Structure formats: structure tokens, C-alpha cells
Amino acid sequence: MNAQELTGRVRSHVLDNNALQFTAEKETAEAFFAMRAAASAAGFDLIPYSAFRDFNSQARIWNLKYSGQRQLYDPDGQPLNRDALESSELIHCILNWSALPGGSRHHWGTDIDVIDGSVTDKGYQVKLLPDEYNQDGVFHEMNCWLNENLDQYGFFRPYAEYQGGVCAEPWHISYMPVSGQALVDLKLEMIRDAIQESSLLGKELVLERLPTIFEKYILNISK
């Protein structure tokens, strides 16, 4: 992938999959459909709740959280009061659960947030919080199946556990054969360039702290 692809500013490296209405990198999609077939045989309806997101989509999420229009959560998934946070605290609280635009793994088309469609009805509001995947959670059984089968299809969880950066995200899976190289190829200056050209809220403070953000929230993954 080139710099534009790695930072989500173009979509030349991804394809739309109309059957499940998601967009992903070609090899990733093929591996996902193979894993989805196996999951179906085991009684699960593996659904890509979110896959490729471009820079602008990620920036919208960021700006909604920065402005207080979308809820913030602490590392335990408990709601936070945005108005009680200093600007520097606010940035890191957003990064607990939402990647920095330009630095999101979802830009690569290799990372997918998954749910089990067999246990949700039309009225269920997916939260993508740990309690849905923990014991007694609605997606717990699917989560256990993924634990045993992910690696057979080339996937892993980059945020399997909290390591001082992004909070644990059991729903987030990544296709290692492609995302591994993407992480190697992604450089801090690529992200800086993307952010400088954007209308990201808190941009100046983000740019000031970008080296720390890069190390703590982008390179810091479970392996």
C-alpha cells in the first residue's frame, strides 16, 4: 500500500462486497468469507459490523467525540463526562476506543469488527463494548469460537488485551498477512501529512503529541 492508502485518503486497495455490505482488502475479504462459512457450520452468523473506513469517516467519529456529540468511555467501558476533561485528557480518552484518523487500522481494509447476527434481533443496539463479548454477553459464544479458530484463517486480535494504549477490543480482528506489512510501512510523517490537511478538532494538540500517540496507540498492539 502507498501512503494515501495507508492513511485512508483513497480506496484503491479495497473492494465493496455487496452480499454483506462491507468493504475490505481483497485477500482479507476472501479469508473472512472462508472463516464465516466455518462459523456458520458451527451455528454462528459472523457479520462484519464495521470494516474499511476512510480518513473522512474516521475524522467524523473523532470530531463527534471531541465535540461531545458522541459518548466517551473509560477503559472499563463506563461512560465519561466529556466536560470534566482537559483537552489533553480528552484526546487520550478518545484514543481509548477510537483510532486517530490517518492511523486507523480500518483504513487498510484488513481489520473488521465482528458480531454474531444469529443472536441479535432488529431492535438490538450493538454497542461494541467488552460486556457484549464477556461471559454472559450476547456475543460470548461467538467470541469463544473465534478464540479457537481465528488463526486458522490468518486473523488475530491486535487489541486482545489492554497494554496501556487502545483498550481491549474482542470484536476487532485483523488479517495478519496484509496488516502486518501495512503496520511496518505506515510512518509517522504519513499520518502527520494527512492530519495537517484535515479539519480535525484538536489538530494542533494532536500534532504536538503525535510521536507519543504513534508509539502508544498505533504501534502498541497484541501479537
| Whole-Å CA distances, 120 to 38, 42, 123, 132, 140 | 19, 17, 8, 11, 13
Nearest-10 crossing angle of helices 55-66, 87-97: 130
State the cell numbers at 95: 484514543
Residue type, 132: E
CB atoms within 10 A of CB 177: 12
| CB contact at 8 A, 175 and 31 | yes
| Amino acid 195: pLDDT | 98
Query: Residue 219: inside a domain, yes or no?
Result: no
Q: Return the CATH number at 67.
A: 3.30.1380.10
pLDDT category of residue 78 using cuts at 50, 70 and 90: confident
Gap between the Cα atoms of 40 and 27, Å rounded: 20
For 106-140, what is each residue's pLDDT tens digit? 999 999 999 999 998 878 899 998 999 999 999 99
Query: Residue 67: inside a domain, yes or no?
Result: yes
Q: Which of 99, 108, 87 is nearest to 27 (CA)?
A: 108
CB atoms within 10 A of CB 2: 12
Which helix (H) or strand (E) segment holds residue 195: the answer is helix 188-196
Query: Residue 221: inside a domain, yes or no?
Result: no
| CB contact at 8 A, 159 and 96 | no
Query: Residue 103: inside a domain, yes or no?
Result: yes
Contacts of 169 (CB under 8 A, 6+ apart): 97, 113, 128, 157, 159
Q: What is the mean pLDDT of the chain?
A: 95
State the cell numbers at 155: 486473523
Gap between the Cα atoms of 145 and 36, Å rounded: 11
| Amino acid 108: pLDDT | 98
Query: Residue 158: inside a domain, yes or no?
Result: yes
Query: Residue 37: inside a domain, yes or no?
Result: yes
What percentage of the chain has pLDDT greater than the value 90? Answer: 87
What 8-state DSSP symbol labels residue 69?
A: S
For 143-154, what is each residue's pLDDT tens digit? 999 999 999 999
Query: Residue 24: inside a domain, yes or no?
Result: yes
Half-sphere exposure of 212 (CA within 13 A, CB side): 10
Domain that holds residue 79: 3-214
| Count of structural domains within the chain | 1
Gap between the Cα atoms of 218 and 54, Å rounded: 16
- Whether the per-residue pLDDT at 26 is higher than 80: the answer is yes
Beta bridge partners of 24: 15
Supply the pTM of this predicted model.
0.94
Pairing of strands 79-80, 72-73: antiparallel
Q: What is the mean pLDDT of residues 98-104?
A: 97
